[in-house]
Structure 1
Amino acid sequence: MTGPWPLHPPPGDGEALTSWLNRLAEVYGMSVDDLLRHNLAAPGADLPDQQTLDLDPPPWLLPALAERTGTSLDRLRQLTIAGWVPWLLDSLDPEPVPGAAFDTYVRQDSVLLTTRERPGRQVPDWRAWLPTDSKRGPLRRACPTCQGAAADGTFGFTLVSQLPLTLSCPKHRCRLEAAFGGLGAFVAWEKPDTRPRPAPAVVVAMDARTHQGLRTGAVALPRRSVHAGVWLRLLRTLLDELSTPLSALRIGSRHTVKCIWEMAGQPPRAGILGPWRPYEALPWPAQQMFLEAAATALHLIEAGEATAHGTLAPLLTPAPRRHVPDGTPHPPRERDYWQEARDAMDRAVALARDDPAAAHQLLSTLTALTRSETAFHRVRDDLVALGVPADHLPRTLAEQRASRTLNGRPMSVTS
């Protein structure tokens, strides 16, 4: 079949590509392999496996799906992990230098600990959030409430539920539960008596930010909003710090990390006593413990009950309170009499530069108590230095006194 398909249910919010392909195949009573082979792939093309479909599908698949269903390529890319590069992870390409991907994503910043407290790690061929063992399939988790309420043919696995990134359903705030499934299709719960279980409030708060970032591209933190990529790297960095052996930490940090694990109800490092392994290499039960500890740490930092020393820590605490004036006028400033005197003197000198009568009066005022010619000339020379013309001023003390005649008005001075 070529051209648009007559029936094509749209992909759900956050749905994985394999899940949507399975629902499309069910509409026509086909298997996913038959749908790919006979309706999407070129003749003789090799069919990708399930992990490749959700990770980075072959280049011919998404354009063919867009043609058949009318769904935009941008929307289809969001059904795959490759479509979230470089937000979710930096790249799917081989790293140029062994260990560079881990250092850039996890160790470029810090949250709880100082840089010196974090031991160096060599993790070649590492990719954020993806299993290090290629034989290990994706997680299969789902919300019991979503699955139970969905009409036939409408329930699908989300892309994020296949990654060790969240623990709860953003809609119902209950834990995602382990399920059996194949090529995106839900088969059954791992535990037959599976029922909705409410997730802890700290987990719901952490997961809500992750879903907000993947939905909108930004995450609101106490200090300010950050790009989704910053939030995902902050979270992955925090998980790495929580895996640090307590013996490698300073006393203060050791106490903080120990309290976080205790508050989360889990043993330090999720009970792992052997050699360190990256989060992506841990089994899912241990990853769950780490995510619960990370949610607890975020809550304690924001509540001011745990002190974080990392470069990203300020994002998790409210901005310092700034004083805002209430409109009450400030009290009047205390009068500065000396400044007033200096200002008056400056005005008098400025007037004396242009007005001989003012110059006479200024010199007379400044030498009113002077009895010697030496003191008189010292004051007169100071006024000249300030720019008062010499011919505006009496030459001697006697001449100054003579100028006080005629009813106190200064007499003209001739050379």
Structure 2
Amino acid sequence: MIISRIGPQQYLSNLDAYNYLPKYIRNNGYSRVLFLHGVKSLNAAKPYLPAWEPGVTVHDIYFNGECSPEEISRIRSLVRENDIQLIIGLGGGKVLDTAKSAAHYEHRPIVTIPTLASNCAPWSCLSVRYKENGEHIDHEVYDNATNLLLINPKVILNSPIDYFVAGIGDTLAKFYESELIFKDMEAKGPLNVALTISKQMSENCKDVLLKNSVAAVRDMKAGKLTDEWLSVVETIICTAGTVGGWGDEYSRSTGSHSVHDALTTFEETKPLLHGERVAYGNLVQLSLEKHFEEIQVLLKLYGTLKLPRSLKELGFKAPSEKLVHQIAAETVTPEKAIHLLPFKVTEPAVAEAISRLEEITDKYKTSVTINN
């Protein structure tokens, strides 16, 4: 059964988007607000945030840094203690996922204000949960969508470039993780409307990012708010969100995110961003599926964007066969989404895919070095 949770009830993306917030609060009669944010995210957004209107009590709360059960519980307690009517999350994916989780369990409306374009958390009806040490736990899907999503492109333009690049890696997964599932379903009969939209959005993610990512990163480094750059931002946040929003579990995650989840259990990859680990997972999934020509396309793009292509680039100083099998074993534990793929996935198969990817990457790097 497919349950489509399509996206926010209201969405604004322009330089004046934040100015709608007081009107939204006033229109809905909210007077007690919890405002959850990080230190850096608040500093980034502060020049553009309007003043709180008289009569609105705002509980200003700093995020503890991890979307963990403990942090979610803390925010929920604050919501209950202060009889909060509206939760506003401002920041990156983990801040917003925590705000969404608290809103879901405490039955409160939620406003998401991303200060990064690093994933589709501002849009999606789910939260990815981690242990306090950063190790992945699971993801929770919620019944209700975000009530309001506000994007000020200027804030995101001034955000750290590595989060933007990681967002590109994460969003490419929307296509690569769902491609085989859609092909398998189409072989059995026509897709329904929800899955058709999801499939089209996944293809849009790939097409826009392969076409515009290099130029978008260049423009962001130069501080230029261009059409190409904005198309990538909205693809990462909005288009990516509609893939899983319409397609439910059939297009939310499979191999790439399972590799990501496995990598979070290794200390060497802790410094990496979510999208960087997922980007590597894209390559492993393609190797598992034997889509070698597509790997070549991504190796070139990743080389330009500085996304990880090998175990060494993930932070493993001395990769070994033992390490490969450890990663593979963690990738295929029973609860992992990789088992949604339309073929049996085993530890030896994933280990072989990782080893094959190492060989392909080495040959690619050698050829690039010789040609240059």
Q: TM (normalized to structure 1)?
A: 0.28
Q: Which has the larger helix fraction?
A: 2
Q: Which has the larger radius of gyration?
A: 1
Q: Which has the larger strand fraction?
A: 2
Tell me which of the two structures has the higher relative contact order, counting C-alpha pairs closer than 8 angstroms and 6 or more residues apart: 2
Q: TM (normalized to structure 2)?
A: 0.31
